[in-house]
Structure 1
Amino acid sequence: MRPLGLALIALAVLIPVYWFAPIASERDPVALFSQYLGAAALILMGINQFVATRAPGLEIVFGPLDRIYVLHKWLGVIALIAMGLHDIIDADMNGLRGGVLSGIAEDIGEISLYGLMILILASVITFIPYHLWKWSHRIIGVFFFLGAFHFFFIAKPFSNFDPLGLYVSAFCILGIVSYIWMSVVRPMAPRGHRYEVDLVRRVGGLTELVLLPKGGGMRHKPGQFAFLSIDGGGLGEEHPFTLSGAPTDDRVLRFSIKDLGDYTDRLQRTVQPGMDAIVSGPFGHFSMPRGRDPQVWIGAGVGITPFLAFAESLKGRETGPIKLYYCVRERDDIPYAVELERLAEEVDTLELIIVNSSEGIRLTSDRIVSDLGGDVANAHVFFCGPVPMRKALKSGLLLKGLKASRFHFEEFEMRTGIGLQSLAVWLWDRGKYEVVKRVSRQTEPAE
């Protein structure tokens, strides 16, 4: 996430303090603080609805789309905490007169609060099936609208037409308009680039799709991803996939998709040549740097897909030495191994190294540094694969001199938790440790 975007969000939440502070001298400051928390939650939710639109320019302010997904999650979590505290801390003030709808607004606020709490929690509890989460996530905007109604008509120590009221109302309107755009206008409006499925084939455990443009097509850079939806076969819902082919003049696209869930399972069983497809994008900034600094590419499993596009784009391009580590667990059919070996033969600067864990081989930071001749500080490292592997390699390489800014990766996950499972495991292990320690103390022989 870009510091600029985070700073703007923090500023948006803090600006109301300027108007709330003078009111504190005349009203109950505790109740006023509760009202501020409610306003801050609405501001965060309004921003969150907006960043979900994937509007042009968002990546410039907030960073690549994968980071925006992470931002989207944490904005929801922080808004949830603010809403919870707003409900716990009494916000009622004596001497306030509300309009005819203030009583209804009070009840609607409770409905909005608990509805948003349930749906936001459902978003970070990752064992809930994707299709159920996706359906429930669509109605968050309805409860946000109820929260905005609560703000507009509840009794409060300022008017909706005061600067403070207008300020918070603007974020409420931003969120409502964004939700209407995403749920009503966008599905009916022409979107994306129209394509036709030209080729479907199985490559190891992956389904490869080659798409031909039905019109101008889409320009992209190696390493970027796009949202794909296919007409028919229940595949109309768009999902993000990395483009595994390098850009071509005729704008033919290639996706290499692993069966990782309901949608991808249905896709590999039902997609056929001739089907129409819509591709939206491209997105992402996972791209090769210019210059002759050494590069390390690490693709684990289906994480090899962006490096297929990287490797194809090397022809005729001057680069420094590149080491591609392809980490697999297969014994026989390794997807794209033959294609990558051919590319490594054609491009002098590219070296392919297959790391097969089924043969007892593991990629470590020590090996990478050794293969680079000990000079890791000047290298760029690109990683696409499992999160635990990424964290282990990154921490090891940073300790050996790699700059954090030269370790490139994408948070390519639509849903992630907030660490509750890790916290539960830590608490369980800690509890077992304390029990064992107490038992050992009790059984120690007296001196």
Structure 2
Amino acid sequence: MRIVGLVLIAVACLVPVYWFTPLAATRDPIAVFSQYLGSSALILMGINQFIATRAPGLETVFGSLDRIYVLHKWLGVLAMVAMGLHDIVDAEMNGLRGGPLSGIAEDIGEVSLYGLLILALASVITFIPYHLWKWSHRLIGIFFFLGAFHFFFIEKPFSNTDPLGIYISAFCLLGIVSYLWMSLLRPMAPRGHRYIVSSVKHLGGLTEVELAPKGRGLKHKAGQFAFLSFKGNGLTEEHPFTLSCAPVQDRTLRFSVKDLGDYTRRLRQGVQVGAEALVSGPHGHFSMPSGRDPQVWVGAGVGITPFLAFAESLKEKETGPVKLYYCVREREDIPYAVELETIAEEVDCLELIIVNSAEGIRLTPERIAADLGGHLSQAHLFFCGPVAMRKSLKSGLVLKGLRASRFHFEEFQMRTGIGLGALAAWLWDRGVYAAEKRRAEKLQAAE
């Protein structure tokens, strides 16, 4: 997540303080503060609606799309907190003259508040089925519109045509236009590159789909992902999947999809050769660095997909030594093992290491550090797999000398809870890490 994007959002929320401060000197300061909280909630929600459009340039400002999804979640949480406090803290002021719609606007504000709170709660309760969450999530824009109506017509100590009113109205309009674009206009003219399914293979629990372009095709980098949808068979809703192939001149694509939910099960059963597909993107900044520093790739299960593209790209790229750890649970039928072994034979810098937990083998920070033979601090580590495994490897490797900035991963979970338990665990881990680091420093000093 880029710091410049976070700073811009913070500045957008702080700018109204310039106009609210003089109001607090002549009006009830508590009520003014409540109105500032309500205004900040509208600003945050307007920005949140906009970043959900995946408009060009957003990744330049806010970081890769996977981080934008995390930002989207937390902006929603902050907006709900600000809106809830606005409702709790009395915002009424004496001496204000409301218009004919001020009473209705008051009631609509309550509807907006509780509607958004319910939908926000549904977003972070991850056991709700994805298709139901997706359907309910689309209603957020309607309740945001009601919140904007509340702002436009409620009694307040400034006019909509004042600088403060124009400023907040601009974010309301930004959110409304973004919502209309995503809900009405974009579905009528879907953007992306049109493809034809040229091959479908079932590899254990994976469905491999190869696509041939109908036009120019998609230009991507190894490690990126794209949004994929198909015409008919209940597969018209787009979903993000990693591209499991390196770029080629004819721009054919390959997706390797794990059977993990309703959509992926329908894809496995319904996609056929000759079907029309739409691919939009590419997205993500999960890409190999330049230079000849050693690299470690860790792919667990379906997390091997970006490294298939990485490995293929080594045929055309000079790099330092690469160790690929392919972590699996099966004794037989390991998808892509033969393909990776073939590439490793062709590319001198690539070493493939299969770590099979069914044989009692586990990948540990100690093993990675030992395999690198003292070059851990110079290495780049790329990880794609379960979150718990990622956290364990990162904390252990950082303790052993890996730079935290050189541990690369993407947030492939597009829908998560608010993570209070994870936050507590993270704080505990940070405390344990700090204690272990101090202990190691003391032992080193004693030696």
Partner of 2:300: 300
Quick one: which amino acid aligns to residue 104 of structure 1?
Answer: I
In the other structure, the counterpart of 1:154 is 154
Identity, % of aligned pairs?
A: 78
C-alpha contact 2:41 2:82 (8 A) present in aligned 1: yes
Q: What SS class does the counterpart of residue 389 from structure 1 fall into?
A: helix
Partner Cα distance (1:425, 1:248) in 2: 43
Shift in Å at residue 103 of structure 1? 0.3
**What is the aligned partner in structure 1 of residue 67 from structure 2?**
67
* CA deviations over 1:42-101 (Å, ceiling 9, x no partner): 000000000000000000000000000000000000000001101111111111111000
The one-letter amino acid of 1:210's match is: E
Using the alignment, how far apart are the partners of 1:79 and 1:208 within structure 2? 40
- Partners of 2:51 and 2:81 lie apart in 1 by 19
Distance 2:277 2:149 in 1: 39
- CA deviation after TM superposition for structure 1 residue 404, in Å: 1.2
Alpha-carbon distance in structure 2 between the residues aligned to 1:317 and 1:221: 12
Aligned equivalent of 2:193: 193
1:92 corresponds to which residue? 92
1:415: which partner in 2? 415
Instruction: Report the Cα offset of residue 414 of structure 1.
Output: 1.2
Residue type of the alignment partner of 1:186: R
SS in 1 for 2:202: strand
Aligned to 1:117: 117
Alpha-carbon displacement from aligned partner over 1:265-321 (angstroms, at most 9, x marks no partner): 111011110100000000000000111000000000000000000001111321100
Q: 5+ unaligned residues in a row in structure 2: which ranges?
A: 427-447
**Distance in 2, Cα, partners of 1:44 & 1:33:** 16
One-letter amino acid matched to 1:63? G
State the match for 1:55 in structure 2. Answer: 55
Q: How does 1:348-359 map to 2 (within 5 A)?
A: 348-359=348-359
Distance 2:159 2:168 in 1: 11
Instruction: Look up the SS of the partner of 2:151 in the other structure.
Output: helix
Report the equivalent of 1:371: 371
Amino acid in structure 1 at the alignment position of 2:260: L
Whether the 8 Å CA contact 2:192–2:280 is kept in 1: the answer is yes
CA distance in 1 between counterparts of 2:419 and 2:243 reads 30
Shift of 1:422: 5.3
Amino acid at match of 2:108: I
What's the counterpart of residue 312 of structure 2?
312
**Letter of the 1:274 counterpart:** G
Q: Which amino acid aligns with 2:405?
A: S
> What is the DSSP-based 3-state SS (H/G/I as helix, E as strand, rest coil) of the residue aligned with 1:25?
helix
Distance 1:423 1:223, change over 3 A: closer
Query: Which residue is equivalent to 2:442?
Result: none
- Residue number in structure 2 paired with 1:42: 42
Deviations 1:104-140 (A, max 9, x none): 0000000000001111111111111000000000110
CA deviations over 1:316-341 (Å, ceiling 9, x no partner): 32110000000000111101000001
Give distance in 2, aligned partners of 1:273 and 1:132. Answer: 30
Q: What is the CA–CA distance in structure 1 between the aligned matches of 2:9 and 2:419, rounded to whole Å?
A: 23
| Residues 9 and 322 of structure 1, relative CA distance in 2, 3 Å threshold | same
Does residue 29 of structure 2 align to residue 29 of structure 1?
A: yes
Q: Structure 1 residue 228 and structure 2 residue 228: aligned?
A: yes
Unaligned runs of 5+ in 1: 427-447
Q: Cα distance, 1:423 vs. partner?
A: 8.0
| 2:388 matches 1:388 | yes
Report the TM-score, using the length of structure 2 for normalisation: 0.94
**CA distance in structure 1 between the partners assigned to 2:216 and 2:397 by the alignment:** 43
Question: How many angstroms does 1:190 deviate by?
Answer: 4.1
Q: 1:180 to 1:388 in 2, by over 3 A?
A: same
Q: Contact 2:102/2:155 (CA < 8 Å) preserved in 1?
A: yes
Task: After TM superposition, list the pairs within 5 Å mapping 1:105-144 onto structure 2.
Answer: 105-144=105-144
Residue aligning to 2:182: 182
- CA shift, 1:420, in A, is 4.3
Match of 1:2 in 2: 2
Letter in 2 for 1:194: R
The corresponding residue for 2:202 is: 202
Deviation of 1:405 after TM superposition, in Å, equals 1.1
Partner of 1:327: 327
Per-residue deviation, residues 125-157 of structure 1 (Å, max 9, x unmatched): 111100000000011000000000000000000
Paired with 1:59 and 1:423, the residues of 2 have a C-alpha distance of 25
Aligned-pair distance for 1:424? Answer: 10
Deviations 1:221-249 (A, max 9, x none): 00000000000110000000000011110
Query: Corresponding residue for 1:403?
Result: 403
**CA distance 1:14–1:219, change in 2 (3 Å):** same
Contact 2:292 2:320 in 1 (8 A): yes
AA aligned opposite 2:284: G
Retained in 1: the 8 A contact 2:207–2:268?
A: yes
Secondary structure of 2:370's aligned partner: helix
Cα offset, 1:194, TM superposition: 0.3
Alignment check: 8 A CA contact 2:294 2:375 kept: no
- Pick closer, same or farther for the CA change 1:325–1:419 going to 2, 3 Å: same
Over 3 Å counting, the alpha-carbon distance change for 1:162 and 1:117 in structure 2 is same
Letter in 1 for 2:25: S
Q: Distance in 1 between matches of 2:150 and 2:294?
A: 57
The answer as to 2:285 corresponding to 1:285 is yes
**Structure 2 contact 197–209 (Cα < 8 Å) conserved:** yes
Tell me, yes or no, if the aligned pair for 2:227 and 2:238 is still in contact at 8 Å: yes
Give a deviation string over 1:323-375, Cα, whole Å, max 9, x none: 00000001111010000011100000000000011111110111000000022
- Superposition pairs for residues 231-246 of structure 1, below 5 Å? 231-246=231-246
Counterpart residue type for residue 27 of structure 2: R
2:436 matched to which residue of 1? none
Q: TM-score, normalised by structure 1?
A: 0.94
Counterpart Cα distance in 1 of 2:334 and 2:190 = 39
Say whether 1:268 aligns with 2:268. Answer: yes
Give the counterpart letter for 2:226 in structure 1: A
Change (3 A) 1:377 1:425: closer
- Secondary structure of the corresponding residue to residue 108 of structure 1: helix
Shift in Å, 1:204: 2.3
Distance 1:234 1:425 in 2: 39
